[in-house]
Copies of this chain bind each other. A is one copy, B any other.
């Protein structure tokens, strides 16, 4: 087992091996913006999913307006996050900003929303990445789910090994995607406007059966908001930049805005002129690429391949950010403590395992269908946007530094708009799946509160301030009981060891089979074992309860406030499979005995040598 682990995860690393390579703008941009940029792979498609069934061809007239509304929202967010970056040069995620400025419950709401979001980032990005592949190779559609799971597992292993985000190779996919997208937008426009090539009319697009109502517009807007997921990554990661970090972070923020503007706007415009039509089999981006570059052409394949790559990078940001967030929550005592420990390879292994497991479960439930997962996605994102912006408003109000009203206004507008968006998205996507988020977030918050209560209670019990320093009676502690099933080497070793610590040893045997008991008695005499052997019958073939009953009985007469000692011979097999061939009586016995606060258990190992299987 441990060899397998080393093979997969690598050899342990020293604590001092942690080193934070600081990022330049050129290196930071691809790493922190891959999540936001990659969202264009599904956002335009999601808008069309809403419009086309109702208004048919007219969708392409209104797609632009929806896109503009979303880009408008994006620019407001950029202004708001600019201020967060200035105020939190060490990184200001929604959880931290809420905790500092809004208090416990808002920070838990942010924590819960972010937890669900990160899991969704992995699920949504990998399924979208697989969709980009299957659009090019429909033969792989059958293995959609398997492919998605394999990608998630590979990322989990990679991150357990501790791939650094900062690895140079990680910048390539984003720039590559950027370049190919710009080529596609340019070629698409050239073909349409200069060469005058008309797209093939798509017969599947239905006729208009309704009008563009404000309701439909808001619904399309809600769907498109999935384009805005991931933009908070820059403000989370300020600390990773070279000095002056806030300045570099802001430059990355502006560049990211520019890129999303060009790519999202460009693809949305291409969808309009090329009449792309969303289906479960072929993504909208792949349809555009097919028309622009030609069916089966090399550039088409390159486009699909690079879309998959940047989506995997996006999923990977969740793998590097979420375990870190969880370690903060864990250190604050709201998540199991195991999440705060770095593993052998210095990564937060438990967080990585939890994230990949949760994402896999989600992907299986939604049958690897990207389109079904997205409605769950935006709600949590906008809840945490709102909390983070509101936190900033409160911060300005409390600090009242120079120009605070102006700053509070900017974040206030951000908070209001994101809050309104959160409500719009929730209403529009509620029955498509957002309701799940409204069950999960409160459930997670409740769980975090309970965990916190538990840890507080434990800390109180362990605290030395209780001034409770129990003393134990030496004579009682030296009353040793050795449970014996039959007389063998292991028992002899146990008794001889026990004799070193005490001279008040009793052997205790539960008789479930008269013949066995008789054999034991004979051997006991033959080998002159000079400690008393107590034999009790049990009708339930149970070895534990009779022992506990004996300890509690008048015959043994121990006092509740004193410790007594049970000494157990424990078989230890050299190889893991040996355990399958032995009753784990010693282990069960120990587990049950230790539930009594006044019984200490000594395990005396007897190593069983094994041949190879």
Interface residues of A (CB under 8 A from B): 12-16, 336-338, 341-342, 344, 450-451, 453-455, 457-458, 461-464, 466, 468-474, 476-478, 487-490, 492-493, 496-497, 499-502, 512, 523, 527, 539-542, 563, 565, 570, 572, 578, 580-583, 590, 594-597, 599-611, 613
Query: Which chain B residues lie closer than 8 Å to A471 at the CB level?
Result: 496
A540→B601 CA distance, assembly (Å)? 30
Query: Which chain B residues lie closer than 8 Å to A15 at the CB level?
Result: 512, 539-541
A606→B487 CA distance, assembly (Å)? 32
Report the nearest B residue to A594, measured CB to CB.
Answer: B605
Query: Which chain B residues lie closer than 8 Å to A473 at the CB level?
Result: 500
Query: Which chain B residues lie closer than 8 Å to A487 at the CB level?
Result: 464
* Additional A-B contact list (9), CB under 8 Å, known A457-B611, A469-B496, A594-B605: A13-B540, A15-B539, A461-B608, A464-B527, A477-B497, A501-B502, A597-B607, A600-B602, A600-B605
Are B464 and A336 within 8 A (Cβ)? no
Are A454 and B595 within 8 A (Cβ)? no
A121→B497 CA distance, assembly (Å)? 51
Closest 6 pairs between A and B when the two form their complex, measured CB to CB: A477-B500, A14-B539, A462-B488, A594-B605, A474-B500, A597-B607
Query: Which chain B residues lie closer than 8 Å to A478 at the CB level?
Result: 500-501
A497-B477, A539-B14 are known contacts. Are A488 and B502 too (CB-CB below 8 A)?
A: no
A468→B489 CA distance, assembly (Å)? 8
Query: Which chain B residues lie closer than 8 Å to A451 at the CB level?
Result: 581
Are B605 and A595 within 8 A (Cβ)? yes
Report the nearest B residue to A545, measured CB to CB.
Answer: B12
A465→B13 CA distance, assembly (Å)? 48
**Contact for A463 among B458, B489, B604, CB less than 8 A:** B489
Measured CB to CB, the closest approach of chain B to A335, in angstroms, equals 9
Are A454 and B581 within 8 A (Cβ)? yes
Query: Which chain B residues lie closer than 8 Å to A493 at the CB level?
Result: 470
A478→B500 CA distance, assembly (Å)? 7
A603→B16 CA distance, assembly (Å)? 33
Are B469 and A492 within 8 A (Cβ)? yes
Query: Which chain B residues lie closer than 8 Å to A597 at the CB level?
Result: 572, 605-607
A472→B610 CA distance, assembly (Å)? 25
**Could you list 29 A-B pairs, sorted by A, with CB under 8 Å?**
A12-B542, A337-B583, A344-B540, A450-B613, A457-B610, A458-B582, A461-B608, A462-B488, A464-B487, A464-B489, A464-B492, A464-B523, A464-B527, A466-B489, A470-B496, A471-B496, A472-B496, A473-B500, A477-B500, A477-B501, A478-B500, A478-B501, A497-B600, A501-B565, A565-B602, A572-B594, A600-B603, A600-B605, A601-B603
Measured CB to CB, the closest approach of chain B to A297, in angstroms, equals 41
A582→B339 CA distance, assembly (Å)? 10
A541→B349 CA distance, assembly (Å)? 13
A337-B582, A581-B451 are known contacts. Are A12 and B540 too (CB-CB below 8 A)?
A: yes
A464→B490 CA distance, assembly (Å)? 9
Report the nearest B residue to A591, measured CB to CB.
Answer: B572
A458→B501 CA distance, assembly (Å)? 28
Report the nearest B residue to A476, measured CB to CB.
Answer: B500
Query: Which chain B residues lie closer than 8 Å to A12 at the CB level?
Result: 540, 542
Query: Which chain B residues lie closer than 8 Å to A542 at the CB level?
Result: 12
Measured CB to CB, the closest approach of chain B to A47, in angstroms, equals 35
Report the nearest B residue to A595, measured CB to CB.
Answer: B572
Name the residue in A336, A540, A590 with the highest tally of chain B Cβ atoms < 10 Å from its Cβ.
A540
